[in-house]
Chains A and B, each alone.
Chain A
Amino acid sequence: MWFGERRAEARLSSELRYHLDKLTEEYAASGMSPEAARLRARQEFGGIEQVKEDCRDVRGRWLEDLIKDVRYAARGLRRSPGFLAVAVLSLALGIGANTSIFSLINAVMLRSLPVVREPDRLVLITRLRDEGKPASVSYPLFHHFRASLRSISVSAAHRTSSPTIVIDGLDEVAEADLVSGDYFSMLGVEPSVGRLLDAADDVLAPQSPAAVISHRYWQRRFAGNPDVIGKRLTIGNKLLTIVGVTPPRFLGVQPGRTPDLMLPLTPMLSQEEREEPTNNNLNMIARLKPGATVQQVNAEVQVSWEQFIRAVAAPFPEKDRARILQQRAKAFPAHNGVNPLQYDFSQPLFVLMGIVGLVLLLACANLSGLLLARAASRQREISIRLAIGAGRGRLVRQFLAESLLLAALGAVAGLCLSYWFSGVLVNMLADSGGLTLNVAPDWRVLAFTCATSVLACVLAGLAPGIHAVRGSLQPALKEARTGGHRRLGRSLVIAQLAVSMVLVVGAALFLETLVKLHRVERGMQTGGLLTFTVRSAEPYPAARGLAIRAALLERLSSLPGVEAASAAATLVIAGNLWVRKVQVQGYTYRPDEDETAALNVVSPRYFATMSTPMLLGRDFDPRDTAAGPKVAIVNERFARSFFGGESPVGRRLTSNDVTYEIVGVVADVKYRNLRDASPRQFYISWTQREGEQPASYNYLLRAREGDPLRLGSSLERVVSEVDPSLRLRRWRSYAAIVDRTIVNERMMATLGGFFGLLALIIACLGIFGMMAFQVSRRINELGVRMALGAGRGDIVALVLREVTLMLIAGVVIGGACVRAMSGLAGRMLFGVTPTDTGVFALATVALGASALAAGWLPARRASRIDPMTALRHD
């Protein structure tokens, strides 16, 4: 019993005893013997226990009742461990799945930035992508906003980068955030050692360029040694000094990222990045002035943006101006910082939340069925208790206590399960890339779990409870063979089948999407292909860079086990798209036509390495030197859209003021991702690329046979043999890169499939339990039927007919629900529509087969009943 409760009991006793003693004293004083006085006092006082009960009633006793009910329920559950195990397991699965997905939503969308002061006063000010999602701003735009917006106090710009850094002669790749001068003061973050960056660091040529390292990096790389302050590090040709360490839990402003270094923005940007108003690669975050709102900032942003973009568009010809002026800007609340995850994952996460919600519903329906069966077998007990005057409300409460206890056990088990499951989900989303999400349960997650379990408890326990109590009095204490149980039980099974139908169709759609994506024509062979990048610790002069790259490629081609080797500036089907304006000789654009084409810069043998068929003309070869005539290769779509049926070989195209002669045509290759159609595309040889040469190329190796990753072991050595300053970076199989672009689709297929299967299992358990229970209740009737000549087959058919009827109802209802919800997942699908007949047929067959299998076991048992035994059965 509760401590307070026990104290109140003791006080009540002593209060009443005092009264009794005083009465006794009174009678003793009037001359009675002590014995007689006590007796008299007792008589006058009446039943002490009764008075106590009345006082307890007045005081309110729901807590006491609750404890009693829970104890009673615990005793009952301990007696049926099988029921307990099934019930807790199905609740744990339902609650666990919901908690995991919610933890993820919480981590991606709800959690505020850690350590940062008053995160809900932060705003993200940005241009918008066409879809209305936040994009980024340029350095000039950042300064324009900063100078013109009045409702913000401080603002800062931020961009991510992963440079090669050299400390103590050792080079490594670090994750860096380039931040403007007000970054730390805006966030209100204090250093744990040394100082953080400020405005004096964020100038073009600072007196001593400074860097700040993260607490995590400090621990990992320097073992938390305070001597790190004053250490020098080099990035490219810049020498910086470490001046401070961030506080322990500070993770910057981009959830999912864990930067090692924070560097001043202005000195780290190239001149082009600083001056070009359309070079958008910064995130701008600002703090609201006291009293200001995001709406106010947004209103100011509109005015300020209009000014800026008009100035940008002014020098362009009329036709382009409209496209430029179409762009929009907006201010977003940014309590969780710059958060691309929120936009990438929100839709799949919400759909998943819906799916696991349905799974929980299934688990509840299942549990409800189990409780109903239990209640039915306790009918006699309930009738007796009602007959001797137990209140109905009280009995319903007792049923609720049982499901409350189950829900509590399920919640605890579910929390444990979700802790593990969230980790699995984060890995799935991260897909071997760096993604740090804090999915540890916080108050929101715990509150969610509690609410979910209470809901589950009420959903599962209320209906059977009310039903049991309501049905019990009319047939009095006789064994009740009411139809009510069967009706409720049947509706529960139909509901389960309908929900399962929705989940199975969903799973089939997501699986089909994944299969279609894998089967879609890519124009290349991703299997057996290895890719990596090479970086030099210090940049080379252009000519030397070209020579070293050519030497490296030659060396790679001659490696044993390598069929072909080549290089490309951009990896395709990796989420990148590089487009440029082109003019084609003899072709005039229609006024509304897009004047761009996708571009890639590649080495000779690129198409051979990728297994992209060469349709016409020739590949790049050693003839195509930097000084020689400029040549280009185009894809089929390019050829068709600019030259119709004619051969493009020998024709000319112009881009960035350089004119190229087309020497070949290749098949269409998917560019940005597997979903988008191949764009028209042209290729330039890496020897003839104009302008500044890139710091690195992506190298590609096609393995002669087997796993391409086996080639990786010797690469490190080969690369450093070509030039000791070269470093191998990020070698991966190409298939893994393509897989990363369909993380969401793979997650939906895997989880959708998993939950679909789970739904099938839960529904089968429900059908099995329900039919087995009914067979046991109908033994008498079945016995009569058999005695009257029904064969075994008839009995099996009788049971299975009922299953089939429920199945049909479930499939029809479920199918209607899918149709109603079909708009929800539409954009996440590929190559299949939510109303696909094949998918529906498949789901129906899967569901039907499982349902009949689940119904067959009880049916068989029914057919094996001995009529004599059955008739004697009460």
Chain B
Amino acid sequence: MDTPKSDLLQGTLDVLILKIVALEPLHGYGIAQRIRQISRDVLQVQQGSLYPALHRLEKRGWLRAEWGEAETGREAKFYSLTRVGRKQLEAETANWDRLSEAVTLILRTAE
């Protein structure tokens, strides 16, 4: 818990969720865990923003939600990526690449 934490850039949570869910259908808790693990505890998603984001993506039709049995045998809400969602993920990934490249470029040449 000593790792320095970074705030999520506005709007990046959506693309992270899409990416995580693209790997396999997952519930909200799992998504939060996965983001933390993969980012090696750098990124921590607040539940307060995770769930509204999930509902928003579902409403836009990028995520599909199904109730299924979790590993412990309890009912949980699993999110998976829709076809539109996959397209959106590709678009946003490309967009992110361009953006981060540009930002890096500026930060490096400033010296």
A51 within 8 A of B: yes
A15 within 8 A of B: yes
CB distance from A26 to the nearest CB of B (A): 9
Q: Mark A1-28, 1 if CB is under 8 A from B, else 0.
A: 0000000000100111011011100000
Complex contact B76–A58 (CB within 8 A): no
A57 within 8 A of B: yes
Known contacts A19-B29, A22-B29; decide if A55 and B46 are in contact (CB<8 Å). no
Partner of B55, one of A46, A50, A59: A59
Complex contact A55–B55 (CB within 8 A): yes
Complex contact A23–B56 (CB within 8 A): no
Report the count of interface residues on A (CB-CB < 8 A).
21
For B47, give the chain A residue with the smallest CB separation: A45
A58 to B52, CA, bound (A): 6
A45 to B50, CA, bound (A): 11
A55 to B59, CA, bound (A): 11
A54 to B77, CA, bound (A): 18
For A46, give the chain B residue with the smallest CB separation: B48
A19 to B29, CA, bound (A): 5
Residues of B within 8 Å of A60, CB to CB, are 59
Partner of A58, one of B47, B48, B56, B70: B56
CB neighbors of B among A221-263 (8 A): none
Complex contact A51–B29 (CB within 8 A): no
Q: Mark B60-75, 1 if CB is under 8 A from A, else 0.
A: 0000000100100011
A58 to B75, CA, bound (A): 23
A55 to B55, CA, bound (A): 6
Partner of A51, one of B27, B48, B56, B70: B48
Residues of A within 8 Å of B59, CB to CB, are 58-60
B28 within 8 A of A: yes
A21 to B27, CA, bound (A): 13
Complex contact B51–A16 (CB within 8 A): yes
CB distance from B72 to the nearest CB of A (A): 8
Complex contact A55–B74 (CB within 8 A): no
Complex contact A15–B48 (CB within 8 A): no
Residues of B within 8 Å of A50, CB to CB, are 48
Complex contact B48–A54 (CB within 8 A): yes
CB neighbors of B among A464-521 (8 A): none
Residues of B within 8 Å of A44, CB to CB, are 47
Residues of A within 8 Å of B29, CB to CB, are 18-19, 22-23
Complex contact A18–B48 (CB within 8 A): no
A44 to B33, CA, bound (A): 13
A50 to B51, CA, bound (A): 11
A180 to B28, CA, bound (A): 76
Residues of B within 8 Å of A18, CB to CB, are 27-29, 70, 74-77
A47 within 8 A of B: yes
A567 to B74, CA, bound (A): 98
Residues of B within 8 Å of A23, CB to CB, are 29
Complex contact B52–A55 (CB within 8 A): yes
Interface core residue of B27, B28, B51, B56 (most chain A CB under 10 Å)? B51
A15 to B31, CA, bound (A): 13
A47 to B29, CA, bound (A): 16
Complex contact B52–A54 (CB within 8 A): yes
Residues of B within 8 Å of A55, CB to CB, are 51-52, 55
Complex contact A51–B74 (CB within 8 A): no
For A21, give the chain B residue with the smallest CB separation: B74
Complex contact B47–A57 (CB within 8 A): no
Complex contact B77–A51 (CB within 8 A): no
For A59, give the chain B residue with the smallest CB separation: B55
Interface core residue of B27, B52, B70 (most chain A CB under 10 Å)? B52
Residues of A within 8 Å of B67, CB to CB, are 11
CB distance from B67 to the nearest CB of A (A): 8
Complex contact A47–B48 (CB within 8 A): yes
Residues of B within 8 Å of A51, CB to CB, are 47-48, 51-52
Complex contact A15–B77 (CB within 8 A): yes
A756 to B106, CA, bound (A): 79
A762 to B76, CA, bound (A): 61
CB neighbors of A among B59-101 (8 A): 59, 67, 70, 74-77
CB distance from A17 to the nearest CB of B (A): 10
CB neighbors of A among B1-59 (8 A): 27-29, 32, 46-48, 51-52, 55-56, 59
Interface core residue of A18, A21, A44, A45 (most chain B CB under 10 Å)? A18
Complex contact B52–A15 (CB within 8 A): no
Partner of A15, one of B32, B46, B76: B76
Residues of A within 8 Å of B47, CB to CB, are 16, 19, 44-46, 51
Complex contact A11–B77 (CB within 8 A): yes
CB distance from B76 to the nearest CB of A (A): 5
Known contacts A18-B27, A59-B59; decide if A46 and B46 are in contact (CB<8 Å). yes
A19 to B46, CA, bound (A): 12
Q: Mark A33-49, 1 if CB is under 8 A from B, else 0.
A: 00000000000111100
A54 to B28, CA, bound (A): 15
CB distance from B52 to the nearest CB of A (A): 4
A22 to B77, CA, bound (A): 13
Residues of A within 8 Å of B77, CB to CB, are 11, 14-15, 18
Complex contact A58–B46 (CB within 8 A): no
For A22, give the chain B residue with the smallest CB separation: B29
Residues of A within 8 Å of B27, CB to CB, are 15, 18-19
A128 to B22, CA, bound (A): 73
CB distance from B51 to the nearest CB of A (A): 5
Complex contact B28–A58 (CB within 8 A): no
Residues of B within 8 Å of A54, CB to CB, are 48, 51-52
CB distance from A53 to the nearest CB of B (A): 9
A59 to B65, CA, bound (A): 14
A51 to B28, CA, bound (A): 13
Residues of A within 8 Å of B46, CB to CB, are 46
CB distance from A14 to the nearest CB of B (A): 7
CB neighbors of B among A43-100 (8 A): 44-47, 50-51, 54-55, 57-60
Residues of A within 8 Å of B48, CB to CB, are 46-47, 50-51, 54
For A11, give the chain B residue with the smallest CB separation: B77
CB distance from B49 to the nearest CB of A (A): 8
A47 to B70, CA, bound (A): 25
A161 to B32, CA, bound (A): 85
Residues of B within 8 Å of A57, CB to CB, are 52
B interface with A by C-beta (< 8 Å): 27-29, 32, 46-48, 51-52, 55-56, 59, 67, 70, 74-77
Can you list 5 A-B contacts (CB < 8 A)? Answer: A15-B27, A15-B51, A55-B52, A58-B55, A59-B55
Listed from nearest, the 9 A-B pairs whose CB atoms lie closest are A54-B52, A58-B55, A22-B29, A19-B29, A58-B56, A15-B77, A55-B55, A18-B76, A58-B52
What 11 additional pairs, Cβ within 8 angstroms, besides A16-B47, A58-B52?
A14-B75, A15-B28, A18-B27, A18-B29, A19-B27, A22-B29, A45-B47, A46-B47, A47-B48, A50-B48, A54-B51
